[in-house]
Amino acid sequence: GYLASGTFPLTGRVMWRDRRVGSVRAAFLGTVNAETGATRVFLQPGADALAETWAGLSHGVVEPGSTIPEVVLRAAPYPAELFRIQAQELEHTPWNAGSLGGGTGQSNAEPPRPQVGWAADTSGPQLVSTFESPGERRLSAVLIGSRDEGRTHLQLVRLDSTTTLPIRGVLANRWANFPSYDALNDSIGEDGGKLEPGPVRVDIGPGGPVAYQGYYAARPPGGMVLVWVSIAARDRLGAGRTLQEAWSNLLGTTVPAPPGTAQSGRLEEAKRWLEIADSALRIGDWSEFGRAWSTLRSVLGLPLDSVRF
């Protein structure tokens, strides 16, 4: 939940929920029990005096931040709408981080939605937005929103010309020039499917920014599986059927396995999902087994529901 003010003094104005505001605070955290429907509202860790005042007026509806279950706090993302507004403000002086998504940087436009993912150490979710250097077709900065022991943490990583990456559109065009990509696209098309690109994601690794994009095969019987991954780091590109294979290709240690005919590609994919199902069965992971088995049936062109006799 947010607290906003259109009359907050000595600040600029930004668009938020179709109105101009001078202050936005992420004050509350709400949860809904998926099984029982029970709803709870908590103060955000580190909430200010205004939020505490509203909590006091709620007569117990808003619970103290100290009562947030630890599992909820670990899974709670950075407040998305606050992140978008902060990213929009960083386009301007004195920060001048760049342009969000190639936009104009005008304050009367809604900023683009950030990408949602997990931290590299899987400690919790994070939001990421990228800034572009106007006229240079390269990234100028990466903004990362996460939580540190429940409190929101915002990090702006500026990229110089020696460590940066091209903008998303340039990367997508370069990745599409891989010969194996065209062969894969043709193979899936022969099988009656369609290759669907996922979003281009950017993360900050120990050696600098890394961009990657997954491609998924949508098959006529239903279902979608990851079939290709493209990756970029500095001035190098890589691609492969998995993230590990794509990274090895980027390092120059492997070459992407060329897709075969539609039938051989399907058999390879079926074998992979059968191995996943077998591994899940051995350890008793029935959820993973069910997912792998359903995907295997989809790959083989079988209906998802078995016929009972």
Picking from 24, 53, 74, the residue at the C-terminal end of a domain is 74
Mean pLDDT, range 167-191, rounded to an integer: 81
Average the pLDDT over 207-221 and give the result.
84
Is 104 a domain residue? yes
Q: Residue 308 domain-assigned?
A: no
Same domain, 184 and 112: no
Q: Looking at the domain assignment, is residue 204 inside a domain?
A: yes
Is the torsion defined by CA of 164, 202, 247, 239 positive or negative?
A: negative
Whether residues 90 and 156 share a domain: the answer is: yes
User: What's the confidence (pLDDT) of residue 219?
Assistant: 65
172 and 255 within one domain: yes
194-205, strands of its sheet edge to edge: 194-205, 208-218, 224-233, 236-240
The predicted pLDDT at position 304 comes to 53
Shared domain for 127 and 197, answered yes or no, is: no
Rounded CA separation 199/35 (Å): 32
122 found inside a domain:
yes
Do 156 and 179 reside in the same domain of the chain? no
Rounded mean pLDDT of 1-17?
Answer: 86
Shared domain check, 233 and 179: yes
* pLDDT for res 262: 45
Q: What is the mean pLDDT of residues 286-295?
A: 83
- Record the tokens describing residue 85, joined without a space: 């507004």
pLDDT digits (tens, 9 = 90+) for 63-121: 999 999 988 988 899 999 999 999 989 999 899 999 986 444 444 555 567 899 888 77
Residue pLDDT, tens place only, 25-51: 999 999 999 899 999 999 998 888 989
The span from the CA of 284 to the CA of 248, in Å, is 32
Quick check: is 222 in a domain?
yes
Q: Flag whether 271 is in a domain.
A: yes
- 256/172 same-domain check: yes
The per-residue pLDDT for 111 is 57
35 is a domain residue: yes
Question: Do residues 137 and 209 both lie within one domain?
Answer: no
Q: Do 267 and 255 have their domain in common?
A: no
Count of the separate structural domains present in the chain: 4
Distance CA 287, CA 267 (A): 23
Q: Which of 74, 104, 129 is the last residue of a domain?
A: 74
Identify whether 193 is part of a domain: yes
pTM of the model: 0.76
Summarised one tens digit per residue, pLDDT across range 111-148 is 567 899 888 777 889 999 999 998 888 999 999 999 88
Q: Is the pLDDT of residue 252 over 80?
A: yes
Q: What is the pLDDT of residue 103?
A: 47
> Does residue 119 sit in the same domain as residue 153?
yes
Residues 183 and 215 in one domain: yes
| Domain stops at, among 28, 43, 74 | 74
Same domain, 87 and 156: yes
Q: Provide the domain limits for residue 281.
A: 263-299
> CB-side exposure of 177: number of CA atoms within 13 Å?
7
Distance CA(221)–CA(215), nearest Å, equals 18
pLDDT of residue 138: 92
Q: Is the dihedral of CA 92, 94, 99, 104 positive or negative?
A: positive
